[in-house]
Structure 1
Amino acid sequence: MSRGDRTISAACRCGKVRLEISGAPILRGLCYCTSCQEVGRRLQALPGADEVLGRDGGTDYVLYRKDRARCVSGSEHLEEHRLKPESPTRRMNARCCNTAMFLDFTRGHWLTVYRNRVPGGLPQPTMRMMTAERPNGVDLPEDMANYRGLSGKFMLKLLLAWLAMGFRRPAIEGVP
């Protein structure tokens, strides 16, 4: 799987579920949309679950190309959480230890991995997205770009990654 780039292992807390991801991330950012907040609260409420939401209500994510990610062990422990049955967005949780693993927009070409699943050595986040939906009373610092919705920069990075993939939308290898 290696493309001469760094290959990382993103594992659940007990180690039964493990993803292998090669190459540099597309981007790292924080999302404040109501969907991420709602599912984050649900996942955090599971017995023994780890934190998904930051103190300010944001979710720290690292985006990778789907063609560079695969589940190498424990896929039978993955369960999906959708806000609505027909939603194209599913958040995958490792039920063996209630660890939120990643978000899969099934119509997209990228994999959104929860930051606490990715080992160190990552660049700092570069943007906060969907800040218009952040919790009431949360003031955000100006230490990075704060976008009320999805930014053009975000969309351009996704488009460039998709172009590099030949406009394919692969499934995540090894994930049901």
Structure 2
Amino acid sequence: MASPVRLFSCACGRVRCEAVGEPIVSAVCYCSDCQEGGRRIEALPDAPRVRDADGGTPYLTFRDDRFRCVAGEERLEDQRLKPDSPTRRVVARCCNTGMFLKFDPGFWVSTYRLRYEGEPPPIEMRTKIERRHSDLPLPQDAPSYRGFPLRLIGRLIAARLAMAFGR
């Protein structure tokens, strides 16, 4: 059976990316950096949303070797909360669309879930809810964690091992 190819693009369609296979995780993050990074992207002129109504940032996270930009890569621009931050949020400057987040030196890319065509996989977890600032009820669609759960760390380790062994 062939691995699914998930396509996503910027709002104007000039930048297109794809991710192959199942994501490492489908999660919503409420950490301070994700909330601030999302606010900054959404404050750009005509930028589409990257955050949910309650301020969480939904991601589909893939191994680096299962992700690629297939068109418009030259239109991508890195944004960092601080100049020395290991995390860069990548925006399509043609239409100010947040595309993905890359943590260096990590081996994964967290793509903004709201950019995907079709129905993305369901949310599996909500992380860093201790940082959540919303009057809305916390969605009950998935387990919620105050920090980053061992379950997430275990999946990242398993993904790294699979990459190392070419699987």
- Asked whether the two chains share a fold, i.e. TM above 0.5, the reply is yes
SS state of the match for residue 51, structure 1?
coil
In 2, the alpha carbon distance for the partners of 1:137 and 1:14 equals 33
Provide the residue aligned with 1:103 in structure 2.
101
- Could you give the per-residue CA deviations for residues 48-74 of structure 1, whole angstroms, max 9, x where no partner exists? 100112111101100011101111211
The 5 Å alignment of 1:39-50 reads: 39-50=37-48
Provide the residue aligned with 1:86 in structure 2.
84
- Residues 127 and 4 (structure 1 numbering): CA distance in 2 closer, same or farther, change over 3 Å? same
Q: Provide the TM-score with structure 1 as the length reference.
A: 0.88
In 1, the alpha carbon distance for the partners of 2:33 and 2:103 equals 13
Alignment: residue pair count:
166
Equivalent in 70, 73, 81 of residue 71 of structure 2:
73
Q: Provide the TM-score with structure 2 as the length reference.
A: 0.93
One-letter amino acid matched to 1:18:
R
Residue 18 of structure 1: how far off its partner (Å): 1.1
One-letter amino acid matched to 2:128:
M
Residue 145 of structure 1: how far off its partner (Å): 0.7
Equivalent in 93, 117, 120 of residue 119 of structure 1:
117
Whether 1:131 and 2:93 are equivalent positions in the alignment is no
Residue 27 of structure 1: how far off its partner (Å): 1.1
Residue 163 of structure 1: how far off its partner (Å): 0.7
In 2, the alpha carbon distance for the partners of 1:141 and 1:17 equals 31
Q: Which moved more, 1:140-149 or 1:87-96?
A: 140-149
Residue 142 of structure 1: how far off its partner (Å): 3.3
One-letter amino acid matched to 1:117:
R
Q: Which moved more, 1:147-156 or 1:159-168?
A: 159-168
One-letter amino acid matched to 1:104:
K
- Could you give the per-residue CA deviations for residues 5-35 of structure 1, whole angstroms, max 9, x where no partner exists? 1122221111111112211111101000110
For structure 2, list consecutive stretches of 5 or more residues without a partner in the other structure.
Answer: none
In 1, the alpha carbon distance for the partners of 2:105 and 2:165 equals 12
State whether residues 77 and 91 of structure 2, in contact with CA within 8 Å, keep that contact through their aligned partners in structure 1: yes
Q: Which moved more, 1:129-138 or 1:37-46?
A: 129-138
State whether residues 129 and 144 of structure 2, in contact with CA within 8 Å, keep that contact through their aligned partners in structure 1: yes
User: Identity across aligned pairs (percent)?
Assistant: 48
- Residues 167 and 42 (structure 1 numbering): CA distance in 2 closer, same or farther, change over 3 Å? farther
In 1, the alpha carbon distance for the partners of 2:103 and 2:112 equals 14
Provide the residue aligned with 2:16 in structure 1.
18
RMSD: 1.7
